[in-house]
Amino acid sequence: MKNLCFILLCICFSKLSSAADTLSSSQNITDGNSLVSPGGVFQLGFFSPGSSKSRYLGIWYKNIPVQTVVWVANRGTPINDSSGHLMINTTTGALVLLNNNKTVFWSSNSTKQTQNISPVVQLLDNGNLILRDEKEGANSESYLWQSFDYPSDTLLPGMKLGWDLRTGLNRRLTAWKSPDDPSPGDFIWEMQLHNYPEPAMFRAGKEFLRSGPWNGVLFSGKPAKALPALNFSFFMDENEVYTTIGMVDKSALGRMMLNLTADYYRQSWIWSEADRNWTLYAAFPRDPCDSYAKCGGNGNCMLSASPMCQCLDRFRPRSMEKWSLNNFSLGCERKTPLRCKNDGFVTYTGLKLPDTTHTWIDKAMNLKECRAKCLSNCSCSAYTNLDVRGGGSGCAIWFDDLVDLKQIPGGDQDIYIKISAAELGGKDKKWKIGVIVASAVAVILAMFLFVYCYILRLRRRKSFKGTQNNIEEQKDEDLELPLFDLPTIEAATNKFSINNKLGEGGFGPVYKGTLIDGKEIAVKRLSRSSGQGMKEFKNEVILIAKLQHRNLVKLLGCCIQGEEKLLIYEYMPNKSLDSFIFDEMRRKLLDWPKRFHIICGIARGLLYLHQDSRLRIIHRDLKASNVLLDREMNPKISDFGLARTFGGDQTEGNTNRVVGTYGYMAPEYAVEGQFSVKSDVFSFGILLLELISGKKSKGFYHLNHDQNLIGNAWRLWNGGRPLELIDEGFGESCNLTEVLRCIHVSLLCVQQQPDDRPTMSSVVQMLCSESALPQPKEPGFFSEKDLVGGGFPFLNNEASYNGLTISLLEAR
């Protein structure tokens, strides 16, 4: 009978005026009506995300053109029609979402008593939807329920990310499953309740990103002063543990969100009133070192090092064999094991503090007492201050391996890591002799292993024959790559029909094909008249077969039969980058956000080749036509026929056969045949200028001077007019701060001297941060005369400048 009365009352409820910010117990919100916060900042109502037809109750910014949803009530229970309405259940005092059949799709859960109250719902200007007692008054913060306690995928200023320890409430963010489906996915950002709490991100229950614990000023994984527009705070007592964000400019609009479909999983956005658009202010991960436990236990991830993973001082790889293959999962171990007694400490500065799963803290201890506590516990591996302010206070100690370390640029927090007294200059001679002998044995074994691997590799290369049968015998051992027979490829490409031809590269045509199972492929057919022979072909096969990165094109297989040499790649429906940026019509499809996304993708792909792949790889022919675009316009570096591999610490080489493309070659490579990771950086700088300007490096012409694209950019930069370089097609999509930063980075990349150019790890970091950049020096090849008159003194009169990859043979 009580429920029947409740239903009858619901029917008699009045609809809400769309201008109201409150909802009383006698009103409801139907689909088409809404609440608007008092200052008109936020709006609550029904919406359908993306292409979905389902209806959800959500909160979004009212006056922003593109609907930006920050909270969804019925994330996992959509309404299939427009019959939804929101109301207060006068029996329970809860906020409920129903349809015409009185099916409950969502309900607020209040932990407070709701008897003898007059519940009112209000949408606040900070985006918080609250249920309060009307008798408490509008200024009371004693809420019966609030949406800020149940976040969706967005953290707004003033929201708490963390725990209410009294009720067990975990305020955490969960990403949408897709742009069309706001239901909770498997991607979560939450506060970890370790003894030393810290925020972390999880995907399918597995931790993969970590901010580092709070040190009184910031989270230790964040560079100091990296995000000056945001305020971070952290609070911890016996009742609550949480972090919040705030805007330094209180009048600015900002938000932080999780986005599983983007390159950056945690994004900070600030609204630009001038551009009438959201600006991506900060993103996480910032660089490859943000990946959780990338270098294993006791391994330190350093962007400036090569390889990126380095053992801490006085540590060594647990498995030298795996470490030499860039497999860092086993991490590092102390060169001399701890003896528990008489151990000491080494001070490390500027590290992201280790994973805090196995920690112990004491807020009252000073640093001296903390040291003594760590020494007295044989399992203690490191200690530091809880709070670095005012000279430091509190104690945090770690047990076992130190996991997820990273070198932070400008970081100044110290951590004290326990080391054997023998490593600190102790007098135990026998122990030292043992260490020396063990090290010598390890070096000898490593040398034997290196020689063995080298001989084995030579034998494998020698055994690689130019026939399909020979390759078939070796595919499991060498290539790890499927082999296709010629009839299959001929059928897929309609016998290499001209209608299937996608384009012509330096080494032959490329065709689109469709396999019998419907899978689309791209087939690179080596031209008999090209400069590429079996050596280059095998180089590309062996190299790409072992490369795995989202910004490198994937090689699916190969075919060698008779005189036919074919490479089968994944099909890129948007073809190459040059077909967009140098085409008057298609260039308009690449607004600035898309181009910046492409720039960052190419940079990450090149960083992988230089530092993160099994061997250091120098591409030697990076250019717009060798960057392919998939359906989502993600860039993928392709064409590795000219690539060279290095091992160990080798970073450069020399050749008498200069290969590459006119307009992209670094000066030292074109003139002297010296190539290195820095020559690839030069090519990236050229590509960056082309993406910004929409002009080709080769063939650029200006009425008032004979400078090429590099020279024009340098002239405008020195003249304080860099914005004149920008492609006019960007229109309102242009983020001037990002564009100017990219111009700055490009000029750093094309400096004359290789040592002056940044590494790709530095480039990635510069693109993704707002730190100050050094001033660029004069670039190389900044006029056409440099290129043709003096740049290539060994070119003969028959050299080709048609934009294809060319071979330049130096006469010596």
| Residue (of 267, 48, 239) closest to 153 by Cα position | 267
∠ CA 226-293-160, rounded to 5°: 50
Token digits of residue 662: 């006119």
**Number of other residues whose CB lies within 10 A of the CB of residue 545:** 19
Token digits of residue 4: 């029947």
H helix intervals, 695-759: 709-718, 736-749
How far is it, in rounded angstroms, from Cα 678 to Cα 620?
Answer: 10
Q: Active-site residue 621, yes or no? A: yes
Token digits of residue 370: 């903390």
Q: Tokens 């110290």 correspond to what residue?
A: 414
| Residue (of 26, 73, 20, 14) closest to 46 by Cα position | 73
How far is it, in rounded angstroms, from Cα 118 to Cα 663?
Answer: 74
The active-site residue out of 290, 612, 621, 680 is 621
How far is it, in rounded angstroms, from Cα 590 to Cα 722?
Answer: 20
For residue 758, cis peptide bond before it (omega within 30 degrees of 0): no
How far is it, in rounded angstroms, from Cα 161 to Cα 149?
Answer: 9
Query: Which amino acid is present at 583?
Result: D
Chain centre distance of CA 626: 22
Helix (H, G, I), strand (E, B) or coil at 135: helix
| Residue (of 38, 35, 125, 48) closest to 86 by Cα position | 35
Contacts of 766 (CB under 8 A, 6+ apart): 741, 745, 748, 758, 773
Query: Which amino acid is present at 219?
Result: F
Beta bridge pairs of residue 232: 245
Contacts of 218 (CB under 8 A, 6+ apart): 224, 232
Sort 184 into a burial class: Cβ within 10 Å, 0-12 / 13-18 / 19+. Answer: middle
Half-sphere exposure of 671 (CA within 13 A, CB side): 13
Query: What is the DSSP secondary structure assignment for residue 726, as one 8-state letter?
Result: S
Active centre residues (catalytic): 621
